[in-house]
Chains A and B, each alone.
Chain A
Amino acid sequence: MDLRWWRVVLIAAVGSALGLSWNLLSGRGFALDRNVLIQEGDQIVEASEAKRRLDAGALFLDARPDAFYGMSHIPGALSLPEDDFDRAYARLEPTLRKNLDIVVYCSGFGCEASHIVARKLKERGIPAVVLHDGLPAWQEHGYPLREGPQP
C-alpha cells in the first residue's frame, strides 16, 4: 500500500490537538506563554539593571560549575556552583549575609542553576535576584568579563 502523506499530517495534527487539549483540560497543564524555569517568587533583573547594581556594589554569584567560572565570569563575582551548593555556601555564608543586594547568574536560557541557587538562598533568609538570560545577555550588552580562578 502506498504511503499516504495526508495520514502523516493527520497523525501529527491529531496528536498535537490532543496534547493542547490535555494541557488545557487535565489539570496537569501549564501556561504556554510563560518560562517554566521562572517560578512564583523568583525575582528577575535584566542585564542593564544588573550592571547598575554591580556599579552600586552588588554581590554577583556565578551558579555554573566551578570550571566555567575560571573561563569567564562577571568582575567581582564569587563562584557558588549549584552542583556543589552546600560546600560553597558553607564557605561563603558570612559574606553572603553581609550583602543586601545579590545577583545570581548562570549560562542563559535553559540554565536553571541560577534560579535554584537564588531559591536556596531565599530559603536561608538571603534574598537574591536572578540575571535574566544570564551571562550571554551580559555579554550581548558589551559589559566586562574576567577570566581566572576565584581569589
Chain B
Amino acid sequence: MRLLRHPAIHWAIAVVVGGLFVYASLDKIAKPADFARIVYHYRILGPLPSNWLAVTLPWVELLAGVLMISGVWRREASLVIAMLLVVFMGAVGWALHMGVDIENCGCFSVSGEGRSAGWKLLAGDAAMLVGALALLIARPMEPEAAPAAARTATGRV
C-alpha cells in the first residue's frame, strides 16, 4: 500500500490508465455515428439513448483521461474512469450472457476491425479498474516522504 502511495507510482498509473482513455476517445470523437452503430450492437439501449451516449461518452473519457494524467482533480477523474469501466464491464458481461456477438467492442477503434467483446476484454478492463481504484483510494504521499517510503517498500534501509 505504501508503494502505491509513492508519487512516481501514482504518476505512472495515471499516465497508463489516463493515456488509454484519451487514446480510446479519439476515434469515437472523430466518427460519432460509427460509434453509435457499435453501441446499438450491444442491444442494451434504444436508438435515442444510444445516440446520446455515443456523442457524450467519448468526451467524458477524454476529459477524465486528461485530468488524470495532468494531476488536476485526479481522484475525481479516477472515480469517473472507474465508474465508466464498471459500466463497460457490465455491458460486455451482459452481451456475453445474452449471447450477443460483438465483433468490435468499440473500445479503441470504431472501424470494422477491432477487439471483440469477450473475456480478454473484461480482464483488460478489470486491470484498468484496479489502477483507477488505486489512484482513488491510495492517496499520494508528500514528495519529501516518498524516497523513504520507496526504500521501505523495496526492503532497503
Contacts and interface: CB of A to CB of B under 8 A. Distances in A.
Interface in A26-70: 28-30, 32-37
Contact of B58 (A3, A11, A19, A37): A19
A80 to B, nearest CB: 18
B33 A11 contact: no
A148 B21 CA distance: 46
B76 A3 contact: yes
B143 interface: no
Contact of B63 (A4, A18, A28, A29): A18
A3 B62 CA distance: 20
A29 B32 contact: yes
A7 B47 contact: no
A12 B32 contact: no
Contacts, number: 93
A14 B77 CA distance: 12
A109 interface: yes
Main secondary structure of the interface of B (DSSP, over half): helix
A15 B79 contact: no
Interface stretch (B11-19, B49-57, B144-152): B49-57
Contact of B37 (A1, A8, A29, A112): A112
Interface stretch (B1-9, B38-46, B119-127): B38-46
Interface size range on A against B: 20 to 34
A32 B62 contact: no
B95 to A, nearest CB: 10
Given A37-B40, A110-B43, A3 B75 contact: yes
5 contacts: A11-B67, A12-B80, A19-B57, A35-B40, A36-B51
Interface of B: 29-33, 36-37, 40-43, 46-48, 51-52, 55-64, 67, 73, 75-77, 79-80, 100, 136, 139
